Structures are given as structure tokens and as C-alpha cells.
Amino acid sequence: MIMLLLTACKMTKTKKPLNILWLVAEDLSPYYLNAYGDSRAPTPNLDRLAKEGVVYTHNFSVSGVCSPSRATLATGLYPNSFGAQNMRTLNQQAAAREIGIINYQAVPPAEVKMVSEIMRENGYYTTNNPKEDYQFFKSELAWDESSIYAHWRNRPEDETPFFSIFNFSVCHESRMWNFKEHTFDGDQFPPDRNIKKGNEKNENSNVPLLVPKDLEVKVPPYLPQNEIGENAMRRMYTNIIRMDKGVGKILDQLEEDGLLDQTIVMWYSDHGGPLPRQKRLLYDSGLRVPLIIRYPDGSRAGERDDRLISFVDFPPTLLSMAGIPAPSYMQGQAFEGAFSVKTARTYIHGHADRFDERVDMIRAVRNKRFKYLKNFHPDRPYYLPVAYREKMEVMQELLRMRDAGTLDEYQAQWFRTSKVEEELFDTENDPHELNNIAGDPAYADVLASLRAECERWIKAIDDKGFIDEVALIRTFYPNGKAQLTDAPIIDIKNSKVTVSCPTLGARIGYRYTSEKVPYKGWEIYTEPIEEKANDTLEIITHRLGYKYGITTLANGIIGKTVYPPNRHDK
């Protein structure tokens, strides 16, 4: 008996952690996928994941646009809880700059780390290929590599567990008018590091439709019911097919490496669809996203899970899958893994604020059936012109029809010049959310319940949407510039280097110049490190939202702390 117990303990201690792979599409609603009931776009790779894994049917982003959503995926916090709600912060449109909105980083609370940094702290090799866009510059300790070359295959030791993300941009809104084929949409992961940047394959011809030109499509009622609307749908289906091929290439590589059954594969999109009245909005067309998870042991294969899930749940779930407890500051809950909660969500929440040069403020609460919207600027129209979106032919057609007075009642709704303060939709019977039932006495109790939940959530997260953005920026950038992470305090005794940093929330990393390679990130400092003769020790200090500093130590001499320039310094 004692021998059996010792053997069991040994097996538990030596059991290799599972790898975790995130495959992330952009701008994609679930409604147009075979796994969710629409077979117009052949997606054999997603279909395989669905057959071998779990299809989650009620998964939601926190915003209808990418940067705030990715801020949540990186931190486990709602964007509007720490000032990351405006799209986007790092690169402003000229019109936004004219009203005093500079390029800036949102600054999370001091205790917040990127979830990939927590994975690294727990022995994972972490990679991101390549989109970041978190509303702040990435933590320099978050990834072993974040670039077009990043891949689990680059990890120094094959036995090291990995957390890798691959992003597929081919479904992005911009690909509705820019059809160029590009290697890094998934045709080659990773590309050859020896290819000089700018010389990668980029064919200047439009990608042909991959569905029949006369494919019968169902155009949402809020879009033009004509050939332009139909062609937009066919282009979207084509982009889905291209994305699926990229997913297949990654899955093939996983199988080639013999890792498929040692890896949890999660595929999802960063928010809803690319078309007008989808992206940027809080209707289900903007918030509802697909999610498929394949587990390596084949458990739950073919299952459909209808629990409400929010993006704010993804970071604690990632940690839970790795057997790591989530830090207490995270605002979501693990829905799978060792620390999954027993009680499913009752609500998901969403926000909409500034989009490029246009400002609004809307909050959303949804339960399984009903969606509540609170409009904080009812005097402003529903449709806010965004120059980027107006490059899309189907958007141009909507505007032409508006000016010609030929919009029907559903298409015209988006162009109303003012809003009601509250909206309520029955998403079961009105999936496109066209019939506001907030004024119907039959739904008074539902309205009151969701209103109360909206108010509770806003208070619970201390919603920063109520702060004028220019004033908010001043709290992040007191002197109009990013705050600097303090230089490290370095103490050397008997060739052992002890490091600390006065900046609250600063992380400390190090590397030796002789060991620098692009596919291995900074070592995370946890205890005194060795000063090596004839080698330079680089020490980095970085708090999220601040500029990071690098200090060198060579032959007992501490160099000056350097703050490398970023895009805001140009």
C-alpha cells in the first residue's frame, strides 16, 4: 500500500502540464459558420474541432471592437474598469487629436499582470503571433516572443509546456475592401526569419471569391437587400474559408509535432462580424462570438455547451486549465479547468465608448434571452460616421440609400438622429434586435431587473466611462507623457546581484547579453542572480502602462538606465 501511494505521488508530481493553444479569428460572428448552423462556407478544420471538441453557443466579447476586447483577454479586467474602453488609445485619428486626445497607454492597477506573464512565471513558454493591440504596450515579460516568427517550435526545450496564440486577420473588416493575399494570414506559420521584412510574399492581385458568384445568401435585414449586400456576404464567406485554411495549417503542425493530444486548443474570434451594424455595436451581431475548445483526451467531444461566457472569463479559465489559481483582481470566473466555478453566469456585460473620432457611451447587460442597453447620450444619433468603415462598399450603399430616401424600416433604424435612453430586446424572438420592447408593460419586470444589474455592474467595476477622456489621460500621463518605471536598485555581494524597484507594480526581468536570442524572453527575476565575468547583465523594470527601463551591469559597474523609444516618441 505504501509503495502504491509513493508511486501515485510521484506520477502526480511528474505529470506534464498540458499545452494551451489559442487560435483567434478577427471580426467574426458565429452565425455564419457550419458549426453554428450555416453551411455556406466550407470549414473542414473548424468542423473537425467541433466534432472532436465542445461548441460553446453563448460566448460574448466585452466590446464590439478589438482593442478593448484584447485588453480584457490580456488582463482579466473589463476595459472600462481601468480606462481602456476607448477605441483606440495607442494611435489616434487626426480628429481625435484635435480635441486633445493624444496617443496614450491605459494604465491598469499596479497589481495587474498580463495573463501570459503569469503563465511564464509558472514554467510555460509563451508566444504571440503577432497581433497585440491591448490599449497599452505589452509587458516586456509577457512573452518569450511576440512577432510574426513566434511559434511553440522555437522553445529551447521540447519538453517545456507552451501557451501560444496565433491571430488570423483575414476576416477583419478591412478585408471587405482590401482583398490582397498575404502569407501571414495563416499560409505559413512561422515564416523564415531570414526573409528580410518587406520582402515576404504579398501578391497584388485581388483574391477571388471562394464561393459561387451566385451563391444564395441571406442578407441581414439591416443591410441592403440587393446585389451589393449579397456580394458583401459572399466576400465574408470567402474570408471565413481562408481563415479556416490557416487554422488547418496550425493544426497540421501540432499533429506533425505529436502534440495534438497534449494540447488544449481554443478557437474563437475577437468580437462580432465585420459588416455595418455589427462591428463596434452592442447588438449580438457585435458582441456574440464563436468558441470551440478541443480537449486532448477526447472528453465532451461533439458536445454543445449553452452556458453564458464572457471574455473576462478567458484569463482565469486559461490559468485554471494550467492548474494555476487566478489572482483575486481578475473580474471573471473560470468556466473550465481545475478551478472552474460550479455556478454558471446569469449575465454578460458590454460597453461602447469612443470609436476613432466619434464619441458615445452605451452599456449592455444580457441574460440568456434578453438584452438591455443603456444609452448615456440619447441626443446623439445611432449611426456615427467612422471614416474607416466607410471604405466598405456595402456601407457606401447604405449611405447612398439613406440620401436617396430608399431605406426600408429596418435599414433606417440605424440612422435615427436620436436614441431612447433604454432599449430591451428579446433575442430569442428578435435575433437582429430590431424591436425595442422597453416600453411594453409585459416586460416591465425584465426591464427593471436588467436595469438594476447594469447599475450594479457599473458601480462594482468603477466604470471609467464617466470620466472625460482628456481628464482620464491626465491621470495616466500627468505631464502629457508616459510615466517612467523607476530604475532598479541593484546590490552586488559575492557576485550575487539583488534587484528591487521602487515603482509600485513594477516587474523585474534580466538576461545575459551572451544568451540573447529573439525567441527567448526576459527571465523573470525571483531571487538573487549571478554576475558573470566578461558578460553583460541587462535588467529591465516595467509596470504596465509605463515606459520600461533597461539597466546594464558589467564587471561590477552599473550603467545608466535607458528608456527605449516607442511609437509615441516619434
CATH number reported for the structural domain that contains residue 500 in this entry: 2.60.40
| Residues ≥6 apart with Cβ < 8 Å to 397 | 224, 226, 228, 229
Burial class (CB in 10 A: 0-12, 13-18, 19+), 402: middle
Residue 170 located in a structural domain:
yes
- Which of 343, 370, 403 is the C-terminal boundary of a domain? 343
Reduced to 3 states (helix: H, G, I; strand: E, B; else coil), residue 399 is: helix
The strand pair at 288-294 and 362-366 is best described as unpaired
- Which of 310, 327, 343 is the C-terminal boundary of a domain? 343
Q: How confident is the model at residue 195 (pLDDT cuts 50, 70, 90)?
A: low
Task: Give the tens place of pLDDT for each residue, 433-444.
Answer: 999 999 999 999
Task: Give the tens place of pLDDT for each residue, 337-392.
Answer: 999 999 999 999 999 999 988 899 999 999 999 999 999 999 999 999 999 999 99
What does the pLDDT average to over 26-39? Answer: 98
Angle 16-121-520 from CA coordinates, rounded to 5° = 90
**Backbone angles phi and psi of 459, in degrees to 5:** -70, -40
Measured between alpha carbons, how far is 96 from 41 in angstroms, rounded to an integer? 38
Measured between alpha carbons, how far is 356 from 91 in angstroms, rounded to an integer? 9
Residue 381 located in a structural domain:
no
Residue 43 located in a structural domain:
yes
Percentage of the chain beyond pLDDT 70 is: 93
- Which of 288, 309, 343 is the C-terminal boundary of a domain? 343
* 1 vs 81: which has the higher pLDDT: 81
Give the pLDDT score at 570: 58
Model-level pTM? 0.95
Grid cell in block for residue 347: 449575465
Q: How confident is the model at residue 4 (pLDDT cuts 50, 70, 90)?
A: very low
Lowest mean pLDDT among 93-107, 245-259, 349-363, 434-448: 93-107
What does the pLDDT average to over 327-339? Answer: 98
Residue 374 located in a structural domain:
no
Give the pLDDT score at 186: 46
Measured between alpha carbons, how far is 525 from 375 in angstroms, rounded to an integer? 46
User: How many structural domains are present in the chain?
Assistant: 2
What does the pLDDT average to over 471-491? Answer: 96
Give the pLDDT score at 184: 45
Residue 397 located in a structural domain:
no
Measured between alpha carbons, how far is 50 from 57 in angstroms, rounded to an integer? 12
Residue 303 Cα distances to 35, 53, 223, 251, 545, angstroms: 11, 7, 33, 20, 40
Kindly report the number of other CB atoms within 10 A of residue 357's CB atom: 19
Please say if the pLDDT value at position 322 is more than 60: yes
Task: Give the tens place of pLDDT for each residue, 38-87.
Answer: 999 999 999 999 999 999 999 999 999 999 999 999 999 999 999 999 99
Q: How confident is the model at residue 93 (pLDDT cuts 50, 70, 90)?
A: confident
Q: Specify the DSSP class assigned to residue 279.
A: T
Reduced to 3 states (helix: H, G, I; strand: E, B; else coil), residue 524 is: strand
Order the strands of the 496-500 sheet from edge to edge.
Answer: 489-493, 496-500, 529-530
Give the pLDDT score at 357: 83
9 is catalytic: no
Give the pLDDT score at 99: 82
Give the pLDDT score at 426: 98
* 356 vs 14: which has the higher pLDDT: 356
Contact 244, 45 (CB under 8 A): yes
Give the pLDDT score at 181: 57
Residue 246 located in a structural domain:
yes
Grid cell in block for residue 501: 524597484
Q: How confident is the model at residue 191 (pLDDT cuts 50, 70, 90)?
A: confident
Contact 325, 122 (CB under 8 A): no
Kindly report the number of other CB atoms within 10 A of residue 64's CB atom: 29
Measured between alpha carbons, how far is 418 from 315 in angstroms, rounded to an integer? 37
Q: What percent of the chain is helix, strand and coil (3-state, nearest 5)?
A: 30, 20, 50
Find the catalytic residue in 66, 171, 454, 501.
Answer: 66
Reduced to 3 states (helix: H, G, I; strand: E, B; else coil), residue 11 is: helix
Please say if the pLDDT value at position 14 is more than 90: no
Give the pLDDT score at 11: 32
Residue 106 located in a structural domain:
no
Residue 6 located in a structural domain:
yes
Beta strands in 153-300 (DSSP E): 162-168, 263-269, 288-294
Please say if the pLDDT value at position 8 is more than 50: no
Give the pLDDT score at 569: 75
Reduced to 3 states (helix: H, G, I; strand: E, B; else coil), residue 245 is: helix
What does the pLDDT average to over 552-565? Answer: 97
Virtual CA dihedral for 187, 193, 198, 201, nearest 10 degrees?
-30
What does the pLDDT average to over 510-517? Answer: 97
Please give the residue range of the domain that contains residue 336: 2-75+112-343
Using omega within 30 degrees of 0 as the cis cutoff, is the peptide bond preceding 108 cis? Answer: no
CATH number at residue 141: 3.40.720.10
Measured between alpha carbons, how far is 339 from 316 in angstroms, rounded to an integer? 8
pLDDT averaged over every residue in the chain: 93
Q: Specify the DSSP class assigned to residue 52.
A: H
Q: Which of 109, 106, 76 is nearest to 89 (CA)?
A: 106
Give the pLDDT score at 210: 97
Please say if the pLDDT value at position 464 is more than 50: yes
